[in-house]
Amino acid sequence: MSVPTFEPRETHAYPAPAPHGPAHRARRGGGRVLAASVAIVAAVAAAGAGGYLGGRDVARASVPAAAPAVVPAVSGAAVNAPAILAKIEPSIVTVRTRSVGVNALMEPVAEQGTGTGFVIGADGLIATNNHVVEGAQAITVTLRDGRTSTAKVLRSDPAADLAVLRVNATDLPVAPLGDSSTLKVGDPVIAIGNALALPGGPTVTEGIVSALDRTVQTDAGARLQHVIQTDAAINPGNSGGPLVDASGRIVGINTAAAGDAQNIGFAIAINGARHTIDDLLA
């Protein structure tokens, strides 16, 4: 049985959205890959985009007309992906959830999901997306060294789609955090996560920052501001994983992907995420 994986949530637009079709709500289901996807209507291009990604239904989103235009990927951008992965992989974790839902006949069914997280405290603190763990009755975290531990949600902010987990572990390798305010459109980045819950280690996809300061609103009502747009592929299971710059530092948290559109993904800027997490832990 395949294990569902999680991705971003869904969104609407600011200012007034361009015309869009019906919004769809994501569901958890056993044996299904779940992606919290975002479909975006870019006012700049005046083009519609939406649909499905990895089994999770998507809503629609629009972006302010003043947002930077998408920049095509620069060929030969200097990113040493193997070196970056070697630097950051020890701090990346797999987040697995179990819960009980209902099927089409309203019968209870066991559900499972998989997402990504990264270590923010050597004493067992892990950051991920709230939608990865929301409603879960049991959460386990697998560290890169193979250890598996039960986790609990220490704090969460559904409006920001962020959650902090705690596991019973010490001396964990802490992920290096960068400064998302220094990002420029066209900067190379890589997205790391447990795409499709496939075994064998994290998946790495390479791209650029294609736009900055996007505003998207999830189908759960979370209005995410100052979001990074990237053409690095963000797939089901990447949710909660890091978006990393060329120096190997985390500049964003992979959170959403456009359903029908190609090469449009979204990450919560790490500077804003740090402020939210600091407030949660205060």
The string of pLDDT tens digits covering residues 175-194 is 999 999 999 999 999 999 98
CA 39 – CA 264 distance, rounded (Å): 9
Active site residue 24: no
Domain coverage including residue 121: 90-167
Residue 239 covered by a domain? no
Instruction: Tell me which of 131, 156, 180, 245 is the catalytic residue.
Output: 131
Residue 138 covered by a domain? yes
The Cα angle at residue 64 between residues 63 and 65, in degrees rounded to 5: 110
pLDDT tens-digit map of 88-108: 999 999 999 998 888 888 888
Residue 9 covered by a domain? no
CATH number for 119: 2.40.10.10
Alpha-carbon distances of 14 from 17, 42, 65, 161, 266, rounded to whole Å: 6, 11, 9, 18, 16
Instruction: Tell me which of 161, 219, 231, 245 is the catalytic residue.
Output: 161
Neighbour tally for 240: CB within 10 Å = 34
Domain count, the chain: 1
Mean pLDDT of 112-124: 94
**HSE-CB of 20 using CA atoms within 13 angstroms:** 27
pLDDT tens-digit map of 121-150: 999 999 999 999 998 999 999 999 889 999
Instruction: Tell me which of 62, 91, 156, 239 is the catalytic residue.
Output: 239
Check whether 270 has a pLDDT greater than 80: yes
**Beta strands at 38-42 and 59-63: parallel, antiparallel or unpaired:** parallel
Alpha-carbon distances of 90 from 10, 11, 75, 180, rounded to whole Å: 30, 32, 29, 22
CA 197 – CA 128 distance, rounded (Å): 16
**HSE-CB of 59 using CA atoms within 13 angstroms:** 20
Active site residue 156: no
Residue 174 covered by a domain? no
Residue 158 covered by a domain? yes
Active site residue 161: yes
Residue 143 covered by a domain? yes
Residue 45 covered by a domain? no
pTM of the model: 0.74
Residue 198 covered by a domain? no
